[in-house]
Structure 1
Amino acid sequence: ALGQKINGNRYQDATGPLFDSTTYVLTGDGCLMEGISSEASSFAGHLNLDNLVLIYDSNDICLDGPTSECFTEDTAKRYESYGWNVVTVNGHDFDALDNALNPETRLKGKPLLIIAKTMIGFGSPNREGTSESHGKPLGDDEGNQTKEALGIALEPKFIVPPEVSIFFNKKINDDKAKEDSWNERFGNWLNTDNNKNTYELNTNTRNHTSVLNSLQSLEIKPNLATRASSQAAIQFLSEHIPSILGGSADLSCSDSTYIKSSSFVTKDDFSQRNVKYGVREFAMAAIATGLVIEGSFRPFIGTFLTFSDYMKNGVRLAALMKLPVIYQFTHDSIFLGEDGPTHQPVEHLASLRSIPNLNVIRPSDSTEVKGAWAAALQTEHPTAFILSRQSAPDLENSSMEGVSKGAYIIKKESKDSIDLCILATGTEVKLALDVAKNLEAEGSSVRVVSFPCWELFKDQEKAYQDETLGKAQQYAVIEAQSRFGWHEFIGKDGLCFTIDSFGASAPESALRKEFKYNIEDITNTIKKSIPLIA
């Protein structure tokens, strides 16, 4: 519904918007108990999405029994408070439903909720009105009794009444005529002025080779937090890729997702390219998925990494459907500071990495941030950026191409053999390089691998994987998140300099001291743990 409103604003001919479809959603009692229903419905009411119709099959039964045991709110008043138009009808009365759905009589300027009161298991002598009808088949005996109660012949077992076939055959022809008429109208518009080129440019969501080539030379201020480097990339990419649509869950001023050349979408202005989703993370994730399905948009959305839990099922669904939504998760470790453990992610990176089809990229500096965007815009999978609040010094030898391979050697060992190979991501790559420098000064041969994306690395040929990880005497990982999963790459005896407990409310410098997460402490621990280096 949101995508149609945006496109309806963008593309119009003399008679009005070219895109004005209505989105119909069928829901039940259980659906409206879910928190996402509140988030999405509140958002739709806020934007006056009158091209959205929600048909609520209200039968007062859920899987576990009657809703009187768990769900007794006044749904009509709830939706009226969201700014919806609410109509209640007998769900078994087709004429009443048809009248409620009639676009000519529908109230403009508000989304519509049709509360269709029904009887679950309608006609079944022993199951009607009970939770037994919710997820259990009737079976032959009860099915035959139901047919008799409804006046349906017992044979054949499955039957489509002739009047139903006649109705839908006519509807198919009517709808085809409407489609042909619209296609003619749309074709006439495309062939007017420069509309075809504009439309193709604006709706191009995949082929961005020339833009990504130019991204390599984009100058970004040095030593920025990776969230700030990503914001610079967003400004460049949004200028050259009109299909990009930004959004955030009440954090655009902090997660650095705002497209500065545009304002934000309102009920009176759908021409803008920033969507303020409010504190509705789950709905935001679901809406972004819908925008990709609509076909005209390449959405990215943002919030703090610790709040990714609120939208996990939305991310999972995009991954399941292989839809290339881009998530910008910032404030990526306990070192964000004084906000404390409620805002300091620990297990979240491992959780996201566990989702199939999701590329999770934690870049170390501005070059790797550009590489992350290039990778995200060239994949058919969703991508999660994991970005820092604290500054990230630009690193010698960091590589956009390396990001595309998931991991790469950012510092080679000093001898033919490798005493220690350190794997690191994000802001810890600089820490790993500094630790390696200390150890090299004492005669050790240390390789450092920047490892921004497990998933992309696993996609590489085994020869590249073996070449990158090498044959070191010992492996270690430095990442300010849970160690969960890293032993796949460092072996069961690998050293983990990770964060495996909750953080604390304190400045970054105090946290590093408390958690012994600094060059000196990590260097000393390595020397004590590895006799060869000590």
Structure 2
Amino acid sequence: MTNMTDKTVAVVKGLIMDGVAKANSGHPGGAMSSADYATILFSEFLDFNPDDASWFNRDRFILSAGHESMLLYSLLHLNGFISMDDIKNFRQLGSLTPGHPEVHLTPGVEATTGPLGQGFAMSVGFAAAEAHLRARLGEDALSHYTYVLSSDGDLQEPIALGAASLAGLWKLGKLIAYYDSNKIQLAGPTCKADCTDHKKVFEGLCWQVIEVDGHNHDEIRAAIRAGQMETGKPTLIIGHTVMAKGCATMEGSHKTHGEPLKADEIAATKKKLGLPATDFHVPADVLAAYCARFDGLRAKAAAWQTRVDAKLAKDAPFAALWAHVTTPRPELAIDWPSFTPGESVATRQAWGKCLDAVTNALPTLVGGSADLDPSNQTMNFRTLCGDFAVDGYAARNLAFGVREFPMAAIMNGMQLHGGLLPFGATFLTFSDYCRNAIRMSALQDLPVLYVFTHDSFWVGEDGPTHQPIEHVSSLRLIPDLIDLRPADANETATCLDIALKQPRHPSCLFLTRQGLPVLDPAEYPAIIDGPRRGAYVLKECDGTPDLILIASGSEVSLALATARLFKRKVRVVSMPSAKLFDDQPESYKHAVLPPAVTARAAAEAGRTGLWYKYVGLDGVVLGLDHFGASAPGKVLSDRYGFTPENFARMIREKY
């Protein structure tokens, strides 16, 4: 076993060197230092179905050190999930082996990684999803481990420690993290940038910590078994390794982190490892030994399917929950609450009422707030559903604490795991803390729901630090992210329906602190379904309009009030989502905004730049291109000109 394991590790290292060299781009050093651990994990411990990379009860492996991608691709090739041609096309256009792993491209890749620290944080989401679903479905239906491989750079990113703190609090015993401590990063030795004692830190975060020689196979096996046996704590295995282990002359060199090895170094290293000079060499005996346990893995997957089928046939509550776990999001049936026209309701309060209404109807809806439960209107959800892990693993509220970035990445991990509908909430101004994870939601096609309340200067007395100005426009720059800024409670319900039924795009819901009038669907019938197309005619005039007013969110009511100040024919367009509107056919967009009608004005309590796309370069935009101030919201509204009279004045001066 040991000799064959040594040979398999050598073959994996050969593939790493050859793939990076052929691409003339990549990161061989860290992949080689992690190869012992990863090869043993994949060949001896990892549960998966060789015939179905997406089998639901598989162990999850997340390569947080995404730059070590050739290590993962080499093992996925041995798994039979990708071909040798895929290995040879590393980092080439259209290949299944991009520079960093991408979940929607490559079978067996569980998460798109590259931005360091986020893979580690996503693994906490995977493990949390597993623990929650195991508690509700039963261990016979779901029970697996989550493994994550991290590097020095991963643990230098603060997001990793924020997520680790939650994993420790939540006692995620089936989370096993491996830290490849080769003490080298791109710029040189880690001692130039870090003095952290990770054993002390992680023990302080309530983890089991095991230190091993990361090249000693017996120590690696013992550590993995110890991690599996510890059910009350997550486990961190610190593998003390040598960068580019096995290289002929460049072991320990930081130059191997991000540069291909030279041809002579590769040749000498292959000789040292006992490999032939042949490129991309995988001998039959290594492949046969690696695949020897595949029949057993297939039998385990088949037995699992038999158990689930039997449980579905005889256990009605299980079958009902399983239907929710497996139903595609677009097929969700959701009954939203109604609202009384004329009442003043902040859209954050409308979200809270909607959340209360669907909590029982959507049993796989899980999420929480970054320590802002009363402000984000998630307090009732927390009270009704309990705090995850603290009140039991079946509890559905995730008390993230003041950890916006870890919250967002953990939600990505939960969505990637599958079976749940995750949401997270905080103030809009703190979306900046979440931003790179939001980008990763979009990049990975994850329909995560981000709920951002307190969406403008109307926050008032808390002042400019808490008043978002540029945030909505900034988030709209992220491709494939759905922006949803509802005008009232009715639009809020529709926007939530849009978000929760998304099959692949994440959504950001931008909600007000201040009350807004609930518009009457009898007077404005398009308000119920109009938001589904991004923008729609809320108030029509007779014939061709002389003027079109466009607004989102809290400024829609302002636009309606402004329209009443004109004797001209005025059309009012509500645009809760620029993304959804931009995706409509040209015929629809022209029907809402006829090209012949050039007298246009827009209003939104944020940056003005985006709106010239819709009103034209000579159009009128009422917005805010400076920071706010500490004062009551109404005082700021008057100061900044967000009144019907001022908006009308701006329009008259132009048109």
Structure 2 equivalent of residue 527 of structure 1: 652
Is structure 2 residue 589 aligned with structure 1 residue 465?
yes
Is structure 2 residue 515 aligned with structure 1 residue 391?
yes
Gaps of 5+ in 1: none
The alignment's TM-score, normalised by the length of structure 1, stands at 0.93
Structure 2 equivalent of residue 7 of structure 1: 133
Partner SS for 2:229: coil
Cα displacement (A) at 1:113:
0.3
1:435-474 equivalence runs, <5 A = 435-439=562-566, 443-470=567-594, 471-474=596-599
Contact 2:483/2:577 (8 A) holds in 1: yes
Cα 1:185/1:242, change in 2 over 3 Å:
same
Contact 1:9/1:17 (8 A) holds in 2: no
Structure 2 equivalent of residue 70 of structure 1: 193
Return the alpha-carbon distance in structure 2 between the equivalents of residues 290 and 78 of structure 1.
Answer: 23
Cα displacement (A) at 1:123:
2.4
* 1:487-532 superposed Cα distances (whole Å, 9 cap, x missing partner): 11111101110011000010012111221221222222222232xx
Match among 314, 339, 353 for residue 232 of structure 1: 353
Cα 1:454/1:117, change in 2 over 3 Å:
same
Structure 1 equivalent of residue 488 of structure 2: 365
Structure 2 equivalent of residue 412 of structure 1: 540
Contact 2:137/2:318 (8 A) holds in 1: no
Partner SS for 2:463: coil
Return the alpha-carbon distance in structure 1 between the equivalents of residues 263 and 556 of structure 2.
Answer: 65
1:178-217 equivalence runs, <5 A = 178-195=300-317, 197-206=319-328, 211-212=333-334, 214-215=335-336
Cα displacement (A) at 1:322:
1.2
Match among 472, 478, 491 for residue 616 of structure 2: 491
> Which residue identity does 2:357 align to in structure 1?
F
Match among 92, 106, 127 for residue 229 of structure 2: 106
Contact 1:302/1:327 (8 A) holds in 2: yes
User: How many aligned positions are there?
Assistant: 521
Gaps of 5+ in 2: 1-126
Contact 2:408/2:434 (8 A) holds in 1: yes
Cα displacement (A) at 1:299:
1.1
Cα displacement (A) at 1:108:
2.8
Cα 1:164/1:210, change in 2 over 3 Å:
closer
The alignment's TM-score, normalised by the length of structure 2, stands at 0.76
Return the alpha-carbon distance in structure 2 between the equivalents of residues 223 and 58 of structure 1.
Answer: 57
Return the alpha-carbon distance in structure 2 between the equivalents of residues 245 and 421 of structure 1.
Answer: 41
Cα displacement (A) at 1:103:
5.2
Return the alpha-carbon distance in structure 2 between the equivalents of residues 221 and 433 of structure 1.
Answer: 14
Structure 2 equivalent of residue 247 of structure 1: 368
Contact 1:211/1:237 (8 A) holds in 2: no
Return the alpha-carbon distance in structure 1 between the equivalents of residues 544 and 310 of structure 2.
Answer: 69
Aligned sequence identity (%): 36
Is structure 2 residue 177 aligned with structure 1 residue 177?
no
Cα displacement (A) at 1:45:
0.5
Return the alpha-carbon distance in structure 2 between the equivalents of residues 30 and 341 of structure 1.
Answer: 34
Contact 1:100/1:106 (8 A) holds in 2: no
> Which residue identity does 1:400 align to in structure 2?
I
Is structure 2 residue 266 aligned with structure 1 residue 165?
no
Structure with bigger helix share is: 2
Which gives a bigger RCO, structure 1 or 2 (Cα 8 Å, sep 6+)?
2
* 1:271-309 superposed Cα distances (whole Å, 9 cap, x missing partner): 112111111111111111111122210111111111111
Cα 1:256/1:221, change in 2 over 3 Å:
farther
Match among 447, 454, 472 for residue 324 of structure 1: 447
Contact 2:620/2:650 (8 A) holds in 1: no
Contact 1:52/1:111 (8 A) holds in 2: yes
Structure 2 equivalent of residue 516 of structure 1: 641
